[in-house]
């Protein structure tokens, strides 16, 4: 298991920790032909990382260059990421869901000299080649043999292993400056265009050290990898933290395979976004309703809750069928990347799971704060992980912008000094998030400064608190609240998407009448308005049949959605 202060650079994870864990399982990945999980050891991972790094530098002169990795979650994706990060140069993980023009733009902005991609991006990469530099090296993760279009990753690894067997010790001797720029992460751009965040090994190591106080895991644990690996939350928490502690990582085949893959792999830790937990709770609720067991389950939850910490083990027995549906061994659910309702946490914990909620940003690599198992409080994001947090309040107010200072704060925005100066002042990073500390010292997140709606008399409205209430309405899948108009003409508006399953039930499978649906939702919104002060009342409603456009961590792209027609 990792110890605080043990790492000088992330290369120590590969050279020391992977060597220590040896033949224990690092990755489990489904074989496409057999449809069974196959195991990859820490020794295999370490050798592959060293081999790829060696050949990229010694044969293709890519030392200190920027290298893009893009594609579906896989062992080869993360192995490539580690090879670049711990030896070669600067890793640039890109979102595989981006449209071609955006991928091309980010490749040009980063001035990458190499692209490592999975097979499903082959056509997109091919279409861009004429618009990119002739100096770029193309590597296909899934190609068996190299050709004129791209090199085979498998062949490169074999070449690297031969170099090492012949006596090459470049990787072993390569020194890493832990404070230098080594990761270029492009933000998902929920409120504006993406920025390039520059991170160092020190930024990530600070997070790994901070996480040791939050989640104790070791070689007996399995993390379930379902979020996209290009996102810092997944690549650092599921990837780096899990592996540095000797835990295994299970690679999910995709969103539609979550249930099957969880049952087959039996993970102990699930790293996810709130939407996945909400989906799990809805499925459980539906099953209980169909089997008419709602009342008895609610009673059993209360009884086991009353037993305190002694009730946790009992819950696993009492709610064994629920646990079996999630593999049977799941203990921890780590939730981050977006707010999650307190009632959802309380519901899933009622069945015997421990939910730990984290808060962070790409700019903080990513961890800022998190709840601890022994002191967790639903509806909060706990205490600072390994940094300082300050609430920038105005006189007489309890909440304000969250400021962060510590080794986790980024080096700055890539080639954008003005944007960097806007958010880092006197050593403090201005997160753009609004929050407060309660009397017990737990941090609460209440909104985003960029999302805030300011009324003509200076009142601040945070859309998230209204959205929480609207999302509880029966026919609503999701909502987005925003300010429409300016000055005295400004009004609070809401866009909602529809829960198709609830609508089918509401209409008993008849053809839906959408004007009637809108009226029904409007009745619910009027009830929400009655609970709030008058200036927060929603005045306009749009119903959207299509889902909102989102980032890969399922945050709504507000700046796009507010300008769309109903």
Mapping DSSP onto H, E and C, the string for 181-250 reads EEEEEECCCCCCCCCEEEEEHHHHHHHHHHHCCCCCCCCCCEEEECCCCCCHHHHHHHHHHHHHCCCEEE
Question: What are 500-508's contacts with CB under 8 Å, separation 24+?
Answer: 502/474, 502/475, 503/475, 506/474, 506/475
Kindly state the DSSP code that residue 84 receives in the 8-state scheme: I
Buried b (16+ CB within 10 A) or exposed e, 262-297: beebebbbbbbbbbbbbebbeebeeebeeeeeeeeb
Q: How far apart are CA 41 and CA 128, in angstroms?
A: 36
Q: How far apart are CA 232 and CA 197, in angstroms?
A: 11
CB proximity list for 64: less than 8 A, separation 6 or greater: 88, 89, 90
| Torsion angle in degrees (nearest 10) through CA of 437, 440, 441, 445 | -40
List the structure tokens of 23. 């033949």
CB proximity list for 143: less than 8 A, separation 6 or greater: 119, 150, 151, 152, 153, 154
Residue carrying structure tokens 């690679």: 251
Q: How far apart are CA 444 and CA 474, in angstroms?
A: 27
Domain 11-265 has CATH 3.40.50.12780: yes
CB proximity list for 168: less than 8 A, separation 6 or greater: 54, 58
Q: In CATH terms, are 11-265 and 273-448 the same topology?
A: yes
Res 456: pLDDT: 62
Q: What is the CATH number of domain 453-561?
A: 3.30.300.30
Q: Name the phi and psi angles at 494, rounded to 5.
A: -135, 140
pLDDT of the chain along its 566 residues, tens only? 899 999 999 999 999 999 999 999 999 999 989 999 999 999 999 999 999 999 999 999 999 999 999 999 999 999 999 999 999 999 999 999 888 998 999 999 999 999 999 999 999 999 999 999 999 999 999 999 999 999 999 999 999 999 999 999 999 999 999 999 999 999 865 445 679 999 999 999 999 999 999 999 999 999 999 999 999 999 999 999 999 999 999 999 998 899 999 999 999 999 998 888 988 888 888 888 888 888 888 899 888 888 876 777 789 889 999 999 999 999 999 998 777 888 999 999 999 999 999 999 999 999 999 999 999 999 999 999 999 999 999 888 889 999 999 999 999 999 999 999 999 999 999 999 999 999 999 999 988 877 777 776 666 787 888 988 898 898 899 999 988 876 667 789 999 999 888 888 777 766 778 888 899 999 999 999 998 888 888 999 999 888 888 876 677 887 677 666 55
Top-level CATH class of 273-448? alpha beta
List the structure tokens of 81. 């990421």
List the structure tokens of 132. 């990119």
Contact 345, 355 (CB under 8 A): yes
Q: What are the residue ranges spanned by the domains of the chain?
A: 11-265, 273-448, 453-561
Res 563: pLDDT: 61
User: How large is the C-alpha radius of gyration of the chain?
Assistant: 24
Pinpoint the alpha helices (H) of 415-455: 417-423
Q: How far apart are CA 142 and CA 541, in angstroms?
A: 48
Res 405: pLDDT: 98
pTM: 0.85
Contact 353, 334 (CB under 8 A): no
Q: How far apart are CA 284 and CA 300, in angstroms?
A: 15
CB proximity list for 466: less than 8 A, separation 6 or greater: 481, 492, 494, 528, 532, 536, 538
Q: How far apart are CA 306 and CA 300, in angstroms?
A: 10
Alpha carbon 231 to its chain centroid, in Å, reads 6
Q: How far apart are CA 162 and CA 182, in angstroms?
A: 27
DSSP string covering 123-161:
HHHHHHGGGS-TT-EEEETT-SS--SS-EEHHHHHHHHH
Contact 80, 152 (CB under 8 A): no
Contact 93, 235 (CB under 8 A): yes
Contact 118, 74 (CB under 8 A): yes
List the structure tokens of 438. 């309660």
């Amino acid at each position: 298991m990792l110890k605080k202060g043990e790492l000088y650079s992330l290369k120590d994870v590969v050279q020391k920790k992977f060597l220590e864990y040896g033949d224990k399982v690092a990755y489990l990945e489904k074989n496409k032909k057999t449809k069974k999980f196959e195991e990859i050891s820490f020794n295999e991972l370490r050798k592959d990382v060293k081999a790829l790094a060696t050949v990229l530098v010694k044969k293709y002169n890519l030392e200190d260059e920027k290298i893009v990795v893009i594609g579906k979650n896989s062992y080869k994706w993360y192995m490539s990421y580690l090879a670049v990060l711990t030896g070669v140069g600067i890793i640039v993980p890109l979102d595989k869901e981006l449209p071609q023009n955006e991928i091309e733009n980010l490749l040009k902005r980063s001035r990458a000299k190499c692209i490592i991609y999975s097979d499903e991006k082959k056509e997109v990469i091919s279409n861009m080649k004429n618009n990119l530099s002739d100096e770029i090296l193309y590597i296909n993760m899934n190609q068996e043999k190299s050709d004129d279009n791209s090199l085979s990753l498998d062949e490169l690894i074999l070449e690297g292993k031969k170099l090492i067997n012949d006596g090459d010790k470049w990787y072993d001797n390569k020194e890493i400056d832990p404070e230098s720029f080594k990761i270029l992460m492009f933000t998902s751009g929920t409120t504006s265009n993406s920025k390039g965040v520059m991170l160092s090994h020190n930024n990530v190591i600070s997070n790994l050290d901070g996480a040791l106080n939050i989640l104790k895991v070791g070689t007996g644990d399995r993390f379930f990898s379902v979020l996209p690996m290009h996102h810092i939350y997944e690549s650092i928490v599921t990837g780096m933290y899990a592996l540095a502690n000797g835990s295994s990582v299970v690679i999910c085949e995709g969103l539609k395979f979550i249930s099957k893959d969880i049952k087959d792999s039996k993970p102990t830790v699930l790293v996810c976004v709130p939407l996945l937990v909400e989906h799990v709770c809805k499925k459980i609720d539906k099953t209980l309703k169909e089997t008419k067991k709602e009342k008895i389950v609610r009673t059993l939850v209360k009884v086991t809750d009353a037993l305190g910490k002694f009730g946790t083990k009992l819950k696993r027995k009492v709610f064994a069928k629920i646990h079996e549906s999630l593999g049977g061994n799941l203990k921890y659910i780590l939730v981050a990347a977006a707010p999650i309702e307190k009632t959802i946490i309380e519901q899933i914990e009622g069945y015997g799971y421990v939910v730990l909620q984290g808060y962070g940003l790409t700019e903080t690599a990513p961890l800022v704060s998190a709840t601890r198992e022994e002191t967790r409080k639903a509806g909060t994001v706990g205490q600072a992980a390994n940094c300082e947090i300050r609430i920038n309040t105005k006189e007489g107010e309890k909440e304000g912008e969250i400021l962060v200072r510590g080794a986790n704060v980024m080096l700055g925005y890539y080639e954008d000094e003005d944007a960097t100066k806007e958010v880092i002042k006197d050593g403090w990073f201005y997160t753009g998030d609004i929050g407060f500390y309660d009397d017990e010292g737990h941090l609460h997140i209440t909104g985003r400064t960029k999302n805030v709606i300011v009324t003509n008399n200076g009142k601040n409205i945070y859309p998230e608190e209204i959205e929480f209430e609207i999302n509880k309405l029966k026919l609503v899948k999701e909502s987005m609240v925003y300010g429409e108009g300016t000055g005295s003409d400004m009004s609070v508006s809401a866009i909602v998407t529809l829960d198709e399953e609830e609508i089918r039930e509401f209409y008993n499978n008849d053809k839906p009448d959408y004007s009637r649906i809108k009226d029904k939702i409007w009745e619910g919104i009027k009830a929400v308005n009655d609970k709030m002060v008058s200036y927060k009342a929603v005045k306009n409603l749009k119903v959207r049949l299509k889902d909102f456009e989102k980032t890969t961590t399922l945050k709504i792209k507000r700046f796009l959605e507010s300008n769309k027609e109903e």
